[in-house]
Structure 1
């Protein structure tokens, strides 16, 4: 299995790295070659790699992008210009048009643009393999001029017509970064070409690597998206990030690339129905999508889940990485309403800040809590901020609150369910799908509704116990790591069983390489010129085939 990762396993921890490590360790019957993108030689030299199980045969990382670029001759430059201009034309073409073909007015089906994009992409990949890379060409004036012609074409995107020279340079730089996987040396017979299956653990560049392995060697591709890559691009490319022409062209490029990945993948896996709907809207075939929930190890939460009494029956708990998307402000305002109804209630916010943005947001939330609940020292205030101890906090608290976090799978909510705690959650992302009637779900960004639901559960211990028991049973049935690993084991076998054997080493056994009849007793050879009865295969008359006794 060629495991394609980006920004995570096997070098750093975190949710993505933890899931990959658990998957590899759980599927010990398979051999894995890990291909990691997004890491330079400094991290490799720092020996930050996590301990790997024996089924991981080797790890390959992307080479430094500052490596010396090959020199292109005139013929290679012409070949690059043709492929890149075709790629730019397919990207900049408006919906339902013929793209950058001058003088063309008749509408063309979207499939034609997809074919043009795929043909140009694979043409660039073949050129990169022949010449040893594309980096210098992707940054050249040839690329910028091709983008300019595509943007200025009569039937191009309306917004692309407004692109200035600075916008074209920005687009070219972004495309150079996005197409860097084309220049990797991972597509030889002794690398991804030797894999039986490529598993891209996220969309984007890892999926592009799997796409090229499929193109060059016919290796089937499996793409897992717990967060849809194209959706992430849409959300992070707001009006403040770039000019409208840049955002329009780059959105079109990532849309074309995602559609090509979805078309070529043998199967796609989504982490929940929310991600699955996004994949379908972005062009994926519904018949080739499987929903595989992320798994959580239940052992750390077993003690809390199996013990009914609460240490702090008047405590609300929020746990997770602190980030603006988690909407802690709504929770703090809601808690102010809760305190008016239940003055003894306390709130524990457990989680470390996520990056510099998370640290700034944590400081803002501390200031907001100090304004809403003035007086007293840090330890005496009804709101406490802690960075560690989520399992203990779940065990102590009476109600776990999930106030926001629309992106990705709500892993923190599953941890609370495994702890046997009743939950109050904002209806964002896959929350309602995960809860499934075992907790209270309220509209997002509504402090009053959030406060009312918390008060209802704080005043009803029996209902809290019933909901907590039901939540734990649901989580153990659907969201454990064991179930996740079993699902991917079945998917691996499903994909590989449909693919032919692509190589035959002389000393390597080949199951199903011979018909079952050849294992029966007796001779299956005969005169080459004899007439065979109808329905008897032609190989039965082959005198060169040894008999069973001769083979033994």
Structure 2
């Protein structure tokens, strides 16, 4: 390698156009790793977003909007005559002979229950090469494509074995629209780099997979959360038809599977995420955990607060996933015993309807001015320092910055035991079960009545944060990963002119797999007919047939969706929790 190391960092709905934990992490890498020249490939929802982060002078930004454009090539610096010539060449014959075979294979993969990521990667490469010559919009708008798609989907939906319900015309149009918009990514050139690095096992991983297929570029995947799980959790709030929900989640399953299959190094931000990654077939040798890091110059140890009313602070956006309502209910319990206590939530409103529900609950609980929604804090360190105790009541997390930032300022933490929070806290904090206001209140009261304990735990938390979660450590581990991957890739190129072909995972034994597939088909048949209880029973039978199957997360989240349809929201969350427990046991067996 000559000159700086070149890394393509791909993002989706985050850096450099939106604030948040992932964007903070990206900005740290891009601006602090001076030995690396970053090419930021940012997938955005539309072209009208405002850039929130400034990139270094030697960095390059590729912004790829999925919606909000008339022409799919608007984001490309391509001369109009070239695009016009592409349109002229994109006639019925090339669409029929070159595009439709690729399109057919892609749709088959997207709607398939069992995924083949190696075939899917070949399809993505074929589409990329096709759109180097032919125009994207002219291809998809060709009447042959719509007719072929409609025929494929209706035929698949008529086959009960596929588990797809019959779509209405809106579902057909919308699902093809998703394909058209999301896969505009393959219409964007891939820059030559030493390492491709995706910030999620999502659509932003497609450029990294193409880079690997085209140029043997090593692929590093960071996971802050588990993309597929997060999409399942949010799906019930979207109001889609059964067909559209199934189509979308299977498409996302295809995307996550191909990311996991092709990543040379998977770096979750906590051990907790490994459970899911193991279950999706990522071998232990490819996983290297790199925890998030905090700037010790910004988050300094807080000076002692003056004696007075105890103040509990939460730094979190107002969102159902943060479960602010449980914090409010716990606050009521604390106030009954400690009437002068104060509670402050620093964070922007991401779900306005949920905020309105919180305001109404505030009135019902008669919290008054004791509970304050303070909005987004521009000085984060000051927000933590304004409290005696930091609280987090989330029902789902990966590895939240707020916990580590609180520890770095020397504040004691009371948090729900979800995701990677226990990894962050260790013994330097109090963990309680989620959605339990009484337990959360007891955790706060334990610190309120014992200032010496608060100080001791605060010191222990800061020492732990300094040992594991500093920026220097994060930057060092990422730079080492980049160098390691780039060096190995260079050695492979020198030793052979063709990359070694990826070996597919060993097939599952036939009998249990057939039993599981049959149970899944029966479950889907019951679900389609409205027999939701019977469907739940059959999905559980499918799990019993192959408890360690790669399809287990899919089955358990299908169970969660069925409970959602029945209005049993607690049971839906419980199914996801059971899935995590099962993944933990599986991971423990493999590690042991």
TM-score if structure 1 supplies the norm length? 0.78
- The 2-side partners of 1:40 and 1:445 are apart by 36
Q: CA deviation at 1:174?
A: 1.2
Q: CA deviation at 1:236?
A: 2.1
Alignment equivalent of 1:62, drawn from 64, 88, 101: 64
- The 1-side partners of 2:471 and 2:163 are apart by 46
Q: CA deviation at 1:368?
A: 2.2
State the match for 1:82 in structure 2: 101
- The 1-side partners of 2:363 and 2:459 are apart by 35
1:182 aligns with 2:186: yes
1:173 aligns with 2:177: yes
State the match for 2:8 in structure 1: 2
- The 2-side partners of 1:180 and 1:209 are apart by 11
CA contact (8 A) 2:105 2:123 kept: yes
SS of aligned partner of 1:241 = coil
Q: CA deviation at 1:72?
A: 2.9
Are the structure 2 counterparts of residues 168 and 272 from structure 1 closer, same or farther at C-alpha, using a change threshold of 3 Å? same
1:339 aligns with 2:332: no
1:497 aligns with 2:487: yes
State the match for 2:562 in structure 1: none
1:246 aligns with 2:248: no
State the match for 1:99 in structure 2: none
State the match for 2:531 in structure 1: none
Counterparts in 2 of 1:114-513, with a 5 A limit?
Answer: 114-133=117-136, 136-137=139-140, 140-143=143-146, 145-146=148-149, 148-149=151-152, 152-153=155-156, 157-184=161-188, 186-187=189-190, 192=191, 194-238=192-236, 240-304=238-302, 307-309=303-305, 312=308, 314-354=310-350, 357=351, 359-373=352-366, 381-387=369-375, 388=377, 390-500=380-490
State the match for 1:543 in structure 2: none
The number of residue pairs the alignment matches comes to: 468
Are the structure 2 counterparts of residues 49 and 410 from structure 1 closer, same or farther at C-alpha, using a change threshold of 3 Å? closer
SS of aligned partner of 1:302 = coil
Q: Unaligned stretches of 5+ in structure 1?
A: 96-109, 505-552
CA contact (8 A) 1:159 1:245 kept: no
Are the structure 2 counterparts of residues 232 and 7 from structure 1 closer, same or farther at C-alpha, using a change threshold of 3 Å? same
- The 2-side partners of 1:135 and 1:296 are apart by 48
Bigger Cα displacement from structure 2, 141-150 vs 277-286: 141-150
CA contact (8 A) 1:417 1:471 kept: yes
Are the structure 2 counterparts of residues 256 and 458 from structure 1 closer, same or farther at C-alpha, using a change threshold of 3 Å? same
Q: CA deviation at 1:285?
A: 2.6
How well do the aligned residues superpose, as a CA RMSD in angstroms? 2.8
Bigger Cα displacement from structure 2, 493-502 vs 321-330: 493-502
SS of aligned partner of 2:107 = helix
- The 2-side partners of 1:454 and 1:40 are apart by 43
User: Where in structure 1 do 4 or more consecutive aligned residues deviate above 4 Å?
Assistant: 39-43, 138-141, 153-157, 308-313, 501-504
Are the structure 2 counterparts of residues 502 and 76 from structure 1 closer, same or farther at C-alpha, using a change threshold of 3 Å? farther
Are the structure 2 counterparts of residues 203 and 51 from structure 1 closer, same or farther at C-alpha, using a change threshold of 3 Å? same
1:187-224: per-residue Cα shift (whole Å, max 9, x none)?
3xxxx1x2111112233222101111211222121122
